[in-house]
Amino acid sequence: MESQLVYADLNLPRDSGIERSSPPSLLQNLCQGPRWHNFPLKFSCAVIILLALTVTGLSVSVIFIRQNTSVEKTSMDAQENRKEATERPVLLTCPIHWKRIRDKCLYFSETSKPWNDSLADCSTRESSLLLIQDQEELRLMQNLINKEGILFWIGLNFTLSGKSWKWINGSFLNSNM
């Protein structure tokens, strides 16, 4: 048997599949592919970025809420402590030579002075003449006068211009008292 030789000449254009049939590099595999792969890839990246931003935002919100809750709790605790402190009766201590009567400290001078001088004396002691607040306090003061014979000035004065009784704090005498 004789062997026969066959010659063939192929004329293929340059952009034919021969170049594509050679093994592509790894970089070309990532960048090239079917067009329908690009959309899901981009969509997946967008979803991952959106999820990362959402998780970050929620984390910041939780931290902020915790801090606000902590500040509010501290503020409420401080208000409760202040409320408890104001609700507890404070034991009034008076300076030496002063008498405690109800919730006031009274000083009874041993020297007799006119009303204006007594007003000035109280001012030097960083105090004021007595302002009687209610009927009960008035009765207590009357008992001091009757039982102990103590005479004292109170912060009530008759004004000639207004022809009325006026307390040193500027209020007028309540006729019911």
| Average pLDDT along the chain | 78
Q: Residue 56: which pLDDT band, with cuts at 50, 70 and 90? A: very high
Predicted pLDDT of residue 52: 94
Tell which wins on pLDDT, 90 or 28. Answer: 90
For the chain, domains (ranges, CATH) are: 99-167 (3.10.100.10)
Indicate if the pLDDT at residue 162 is higher than 60: yes
pTM (whole model) above 0.85 = no
Q: What percent of the chain has pLDDT over 70?
A: 73
Average pLDDT (45-64) is 91
DSSP assignment of the chain equals -------------TTSTHHHHSPPPHHHHHH-S-HHHHHHHHHHHHHHHHHHHHHHHHHHHHHHHHHHHHHHHHHHHHHHHHHHHHHSPPPP-PPTTEEEETTEEEE--SS---HHHHHHHHHHTT---B---SHHHHHHHHHIIIII-----BSEEEETTTTEEEETTSPBPPTT-
